């Protein structure tokens, strides 16, 4: 990328950053309760955890 092209891209980035910062000053997040993610304690382990439980002790020796 030539210096001239790079300068154009940097100018566009500066303009976009200024627009973003201006928009974020007036931004208000949507209201509402955040729901807690339900995690089931009885979920069986994934294949990755089964693999790790079998091979990690062999590797760490």
Contacts of 45 (CB under 8 A, 6+ apart): 53
CB neighbours of 1 closer than 8 A, spacing ≥ 6? 9
In this predicted model, what pLDDT tens digit does every residue of 22-58 receive, in sequence order? 999 999 888 888 788 888 888 888 999 999 988 888 7
What does residue 4 show for φ and ψ, rounded to 5 degrees? -65, -45
CA distance 12 to 42: 52
pLDDT band at 8 (very low <50, low <70, confident <90, very high): very high
CA distance 9 to 3: 10
> What's the pTM?
0.46
Token pair of 56, please?
Answer: 């990690």
């Amino acid at each position: 990328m030539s210096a001239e092209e790079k300068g154009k891209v940097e100018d566009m980035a500066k303009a976009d950053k200024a627009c973003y910062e201006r928009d974020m000053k007036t931004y208000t997040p949507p209201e509402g309760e955040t729901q807690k993610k339900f995690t089931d304690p009885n979920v069986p382990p994934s294949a990755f955890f089964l693999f790790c439980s079998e091979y990690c002790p062999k590797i760490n020796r």
